[in-house]
Amino acid sequence: MTSMSETKGYDGAGEPMQVVAVAGAHPPHYYSQDELVAAFLRHWGEAHHNTARLEQLHRAVAVGGRHLALPIEDYANLRGFGDSNDAFIRVGTEIGEQAVSKALDDSGLQPRDIDAIFAVSVTGIATPSIDARLVNRLQMRQNVKRVPIFGLGCVAGAAGLSRMYDYLKAWPDHVAVLLSVELCSLTIQRDDFSIPNLISSGLFGDGAAAVVAVGAERAPRWPTGGPTVLATQSQFYYDTERTMGWDISDSGFKVVLSSSVPDVVKQHLGGDIDRFLQSQGLTRAHIGSWVCHPGGPKVLQAFESALRVTEEDLALTWRSLKEVGNMSSASVLFVLRDTLAERRPAAGTLGLILAMGPGFCSELVLVRW
């Protein structure tokens, strides 16, 4: 990696957003993959013609265990999308409050300090949205700006950071919060034996993450805070709508998940990163830290190929996948939290935060640690 002092085309001028704190929260119900496989075999064993294939798919996703929104025995009592969505609102509000409160505590700020809250999710619908419910529960100011964002899926953690960066460029004296709430287990289609649904039932977990960030005028108060965001890039890929997403049915969210995702990563991501870095006067040689969304084993291997990095470079991403599964938009924020706490790069190191999701699209966030 080239040091900052050796870069020629990039001086890092204008850093309008600093991450101050990142926190996560989970529902209390944690199950090992063995327990979950046994439960799925009990449910699907008689109807599915190949239970060995079911178990094989669940083992192949490299997940060791996951948190669930509800105790596992309660899922059989969900009578349809209405019940599942009611659980999303109830549990999502609870763990969303926990994540935001922890991030605020870690930053030394209070709920009334928040000027804007960005809330991302793709696993439930709420109107008023989860962030509105938290304004009441946490007694944020009545003039807080709320920006609920639905539909970005796995990319939304990184995209939310980008939209918060855009906001803080305009309001450098403000405090902004990004909240991700994803309860993927509530979207499982119990009568769908398609390969995408079987893979999803073994891959996705539940959790919430919150990021507190401040604009340039407030950043000097946190000299030992998190990374500063230097630039972002959104990239959309034409005619890839069926790569990932939902079909909305009477029973709720039915997963769309194409086996082509790793190929799309390999085809596009490396070039996107190079062009983005070039626009900042940088090359990959300047990047010393990678915070990636843990999409799944094949997706992570495609990331390694596209980024020309090793499994060790993405060690925290691999660990997050193993310990809690893919939590959609929340996952990349959990990896950011773990990077801050356990593997913080040396001061001045440049890094990339990145994720991909429905559209199909990618989001790149350039940071300085």
Residues identified as active-site: 154
Rounded to 10°, the helix 51-60/195-203 angle is: 50
SS3 assignment, position 116: strand
Q: What does the block give as tokens for 19?
A: 């991450």
Q: Are 134 and 117 in contact (CB under 8 A)?
A: yes
For 287, residues 6+ apart whose C-beta sits below 8 A from its C-beta are 1, 277, 350, 351, 352
The backbone region for 336, taken as left when phi is positive above 0, alpha when psi lies in -120 to 50, beta otherwise, is alpha
Q: Count CB-CB contacts under 10 A for residue 38.
A: 15
Alpha-carbon span 358 to 242, nearest angstrom: 8
Q: What does the block give as tokens for 163?
A: 């939209």
Among residues 131, 129, 147, which one has the least CA distance to residue 96? Answer: 131
Type of residue at 122 = V
* H or E stretch covering 155: none
Kindly give the residue spans of alpha helices, DSSP state H, lying in 260-296: 261-279
